[in-house]
Structure 1
Amino acid sequence: MSVDVSAQDIAQAYEHVRAKQLDWLLLTYGQTRDKLSLLTSGTGGVDELVKALPDDDVSFAFCREEEKDRSYFCLISYVPEKTNALVAARALVHSRAVAANFKAHHATMSAAKREDITTRSVRAKLRLDAQPRQRNLTQFDASDFEPQPSRIPVRADTLPNGLHARAATETPRSVSDSTLHHARTGTTPSAASGRPESPSVRKDDALPPPPPPPKDPDRDSWVPISSPTSMHHHTDSYGNGNAYPEPPSPTTTIPTIPDDGHSYYNPTLGRSSFAYSENSQYSQSTSTLHTDFARRQQQRLPPIPVPTPLPRGVSLPRKSLEERQREIESKRERERREMEELQRREREEQERRRRDRLEQQKREEEEEESRRRKEEQERRRWVAERQRKAEARRLEEERKAREEEERKAADMQRRVEEARRAKLRREAEERAAAEERRWREKEREDEERAKIERLKNIAVQFVAEAGGQEVALSGECTVQTSWSTTWRRRYFELNNETMTFYKHEADPQPLDVMRIKGRVRKIGTWKDGHDELQAIPHSFAVEFKDDEGPWFFYTDSEEAKDVLVGLISKACGLL
């Protein structure tokens, strides 16, 4: 169940991710079962990777995360929930092969849903912070605190001598250098100049607002700012349209801050917030803004000429009742036309809004219909793809079942053939074994007949040579009696009834006597069940008819054995 990950584009994408040229790569099976191919790659982080994941296919991803200018890599195995158990098990085995190929990974994770793969979860697997570290906000750029040039008019008499021209050209930027220096070093202007610090300068930079300026009775020295409300028309009780100006409102201005090294910038009050120490020579000459200053500055209207007031005792001629009536009717007609115009515009605006609303509704319906058609097409495509995969799986399962049946039939036929051959081989071996047994049995019978004949001849010969003596044969042999487990070398004398054993030839006292006449049942060898005689040459056993156990003998030669066996057999009547 190995998987092939040797494609050249996979290796190139892997090296690009390691070299920080890519953020991730994605591998899928495609139409194969044991070969992975590169589906896509990108630089958009984990969010882009999640969007590229296929819906129903098993895939493997290799992504990169940054922490303190160092790269960390994570290997992700995506097995959807609807994947069958066989494919999931194969994907588990293949994930190990992919991990062995992508050796640079620091962690691995498995997911069954897209929601499980997020930047937070990947960084948690890598044991990193939840989000990449941002710029330290405690550090600031000097350009953030540079005040903009002031465009506020300055009252001339508030500036000291020699600074009129200077105030017209200088801007607060000349002040910002020293104030930024004090803000960065944490010193006050008083401390920087060697003077005692004013109580108004607080350690925590939370400066109070500047004091209000003293009232100045000389209003003519202020520069007025024109506005539509600076001229008011009044009508006297007689209906005369006598117009006279009201005295202009005093316009307050902010003087330009001089570059005297005593200004102090408070960064907590904004870019253009400045304060002065108490012993500054300009702290008492500042003024406050008028409440409608900003509104008047924005209007920038040209100044309205001030009419000359009428001399005392001179008045304009009174209007007639008809003129006043015409003016009233004209005013009413003008108001009516204005109201109609407003109503017409309102109707047009409502009609336009209704058309826009209908068009918007139509666009939304068209978009909804388009979205529905796309969803229907996507659903049909998904159903067709699912049916195609199901049909492919069915054909694959049928092919596997057919191959399994063919393999079983071939195995059965092979086993039957092997059983038939084994039976024939066994029958042949049995026939050969039976033939060999018959041959060996015949050979043994022939040997037995030849042996008996030879023993008869030997017995007849020895009896003839004995000439009627009592002892037919004497000599030495090694014997083991039925009541002993030790072999003893003995001298024996054999006659027709007994076989007597002595310690040596000159010993007159017999040690053992074996009666043989009418008592011996059989004289056998190791082939007759006496396995202990197989390793002893020229050995034989004498078995008795009673309950006594067998006696074992062996001689010095095969000829001596044949003579002894023949005489014992002759004496006990076996020949």
Structure 2
Amino acid sequence: MNTSPTHKRKGGFLSQVFTLRRRNKNMHLTPYVQDPAADATPPTPPPKDYNRAFTRRPFLGDEYINEKPLLFDLELSVTAQQVLPHPPAQPIPFLRQIPPRVPVKTHSPPTTPLTPEERARRRLAAQRKTQLEKEAMLREEHERQERRKREKEDQERREREEEEKRKAALQEELRAAALRKARMEREEREIEERQLHEIRERKQLEKERRLQHTKEVERWRAEQLQRAESQCSEKVEERRRSAEGRRVRIARLNEEVFSSKADKMVGWVSVQAPDMLAWKRRYYKFEMGHAESKMLLYGNPREVVKPLDVLPLDGRIDSLAEWYEGFEELEAIPHSFAVRFVDGVEWRMYADSAEEKDRLLVLLSEAAGIIL
């Protein structure tokens, strides 16, 4: 049975903490063993100790418990809550265990009560300690805030330096890109100007070459025209001389051809029919008659039974033409001429010699009844 008187607890947070610590220390004392025989009839104390039997020894912190809570305790808690970020305070569990019963020493010496000066001194010491703890916490919080501020400033400074480096690198890249672009544009402009200069020079050379070629062509044309005129005049003169000589020869051959000799009416000639591209060598024979005159062409003199071609001559020949009378392809063939018929058919012929040609022309003109 607990006979300790019940005390009304007053005071602040620190007083309760000190009380709990003191109670926890008393928990290690020797527990009280209840004896029913002894507890039934407690012994009667002597008269001189009656008033001291249940006298409790004063606790050193009772004066702090009974005193009014100090004002700085509330300020410290409020300041700590404002400065230090900490999780919400949890209520301190209040131990309601009954301490073990300690036998009261009947002959313990009396406790000397504290004087007001000692209580004031202890109160000031506690206030000083609390103030020092508060200042230490504020100083630590201030140092922490300063450290965080310095770290934040260092971080911002590093970020600014990195941003400045990045901007400087970007500006350097842009400047290098601008220089490369300007150099490329300058090189392209130089290449374009060089190409334009080469094109102008090439055009000038082409123009000069064309002018030179034009002059050479004009000079060549003038020379060709002059040569052609000279050749034409020479050819005209040659033709005139040839025509005069042929007339002389034809006049001489008229008497020989139309004499009584029959061998003057036959001979060899190469002909090209109008429907053929190849030249054929034929043996010819003229038949002169009052009804019809014709020219017979054979393959050889031994086969004169049936002619290969028969050219009617009486009134059928339009003219006998030389190569310069519209048959330029015969110019390269010596002793050649052409026979135009009235129906538009043209036969081309050439003889083995000029005399043979003149004799053949005399026979054709005489058989056709035309004048050379």
TM-score (norm 1): 0.38
Superposed, 1:439-454 pairs within 5 Å as 439-454=230-245
Q: Structure 1 pair 354/512, CA: closer, same or farther in 2 (3 Å)?
A: closer
Q: What is residue 337 of structure 2 aligned with on the other side?
A: 540
Superposed, 1:271-282 pairs within 5 Å as none
Alignment match of 1:501 (pick from 289, 296, 299): 296
Alignment match of 1:489 (pick from 283, 292, 296): 283
Cα offset for 1:498?
4.0
Name the Cα RMSD after superposition.
4.8
Give the distance between the partners of 2:179 and 2:207, measured in 1 at CA: 42
Partners of 2:338 and 2:349 within 8 A in 1: yes
Partners of 1:474 and 1:494 within 8 A in 2: no
**Which structure is larger by alpha-carbon Rg, 1 or 2?**
2
Superposed, 1:128-147 pairs within 5 Å as none
Q: Which runs of 5+ in 1 are unaligned?
A: 1-227, 242-311
Amino acid paired to 1:565: L
Cα offset for 1:420?
0.6
Partners of 2:266 and 2:283 within 8 A in 1: no
Q: What is residue 409 of structure 1 aligned with on the other side?
A: 200
Alignment match of 1:457 (pick from 240, 248, 259): 248
Q: Structure 1 pair 313/349, CA: closer, same or farther in 2 (3 Å)?
A: closer
Cα offset for 1:409?
1.3
Are 1:344 and 2:123 an aligned pair? no
Give the distance between the partners of 1:238 and 1:449, measured in 2 at CA: 187
Alignment match of 2:318 (pick from 490, 508, 520): 520
Amino acid paired to 1:553: M
Q: Structure 1 pair 555/326, CA: closer, same or farther in 2 (3 Å)?
A: same
Amino acid paired to 1:551: W
Alignment match of 1:550 (pick from 346, 349, 360): 346
Give the distance between the partners of 2:320 and 2:236, measured in 1 at CA: 16
Amino acid paired to 1:501: L
Of 445-454 and 358-367, deviating more is: 358-367
Give the distance between the partners of 1:509 and 1:364, measured in 2 at CA: 131
Q: Structure 1 pair 515/472, CA: closer, same or farther in 2 (3 Å)?
A: farther
Cα offset for 1:481?
8.6
Q: What is residue 432 of structure 1 aligned with on the other side?
A: 223
Partners of 1:472 and 1:494 within 8 A in 2: no
Q: Structure 1 pair 379/547, CA: closer, same or farther in 2 (3 Å)?
A: same
Give the distance between the partners of 1:513 and 1:377, measured in 2 at CA: 111
Amino acid paired to 1:514: P
Higher share in helix: 2
Q: Structure 1 pair 320/327, CA: closer, same or farther in 2 (3 Å)?
A: farther
Q: Structure 1 pair 386/523, CA: closer, same or farther in 2 (3 Å)?
A: closer
Superposed, 1:297-336 pairs within 5 Å as 317-320=108-111, 322=113, 335-336=126-127
Q: What is residue 28 of structure 2 aligned with on the other side?
A: 232
Are 1:564 and 2:360 an aligned pair? yes
Aligned positions, number: 276
Q: Structure 1 pair 562/373, CA: closer, same or farther in 2 (3 Å)?
A: same
Cα offset for 1:558?
4.1
Amino acid paired to 1:540: F
Partners of 1:480 and 1:552 within 8 A in 2: yes
Are 1:392 and 2:190 an aligned pair? no
Q: Structure 1 pair 339/380, CA: closer, same or farther in 2 (3 Å)?
A: same
Give the distance between the partners of 1:396 and 1:573, measured in 2 at CA: 87
Give the distance between the partners of 2:297 and 2:113, measured in 1 at CA: 193
Partners of 1:523 and 1:540 within 8 A in 2: yes
Superposed, 1:54-133 pairs within 5 Å as none
TM-score (norm 2): 0.55
Secondary structure of 1:447's partner? helix
Give the distance between the partners of 1:230 and 1:407, measured in 2 at CA: 116
Q: Structure 1 pair 419/238, CA: closer, same or farther in 2 (3 Å)?
A: farther
Q: What is residue 529 of structure 1 aligned with on the other side?
A: 327
Cα offset for 1:452?
1.8
Q: Structure 1 pair 233/326, CA: closer, same or farther in 2 (3 Å)?
A: farther
Give the distance between the partners of 2:259 and 2:345, measured in 1 at CA: 32
Secondary structure of 1:403's partner? helix
Give the distance between the partners of 2:125 and 2:304, measured in 1 at CA: 181
Q: Which has the higher contact order (CA 8 A, sep 6+)?
A: 2
| 1:203-256 deviations in Å (ceiling 9; x for gaps) | xxxxxxxxxxxxxxxxxxxxxxxxx98993589975469xxxxxxxxxxxxxxx
Give the distance between the partners of 1:509 and 1:350, measured in 2 at CA: 150
Cα offset for 1:474?
1.0
Cα offset for 1:561?
1.9
Give the distance between the partners of 1:573 and 1:378, measured in 2 at CA: 111
Q: Which runs of 5+ in 2 are unaligned?
A: 1-23, 33-53, 59-102
| 1:175-206 deviations in Å (ceiling 9; x for gaps) | xxxxxxxxxxxxxxxxxxxxxxxxxxxxxxxx
Amino acid paired to 2:265: S
Partners of 1:543 and 1:549 within 8 A in 2: yes
Secondary structure of 1:317's partner? coil
Of 507-516 and 333-342, deviating more is: 507-516
Give the distance between the partners of 2:321 and 2:229, measured in 1 at CA: 23
Give the distance between the partners of 2:176 and 2:244, measured in 1 at CA: 99
Amino acid paired to 2:322: G
Secondary structure of 2:226's partner? helix
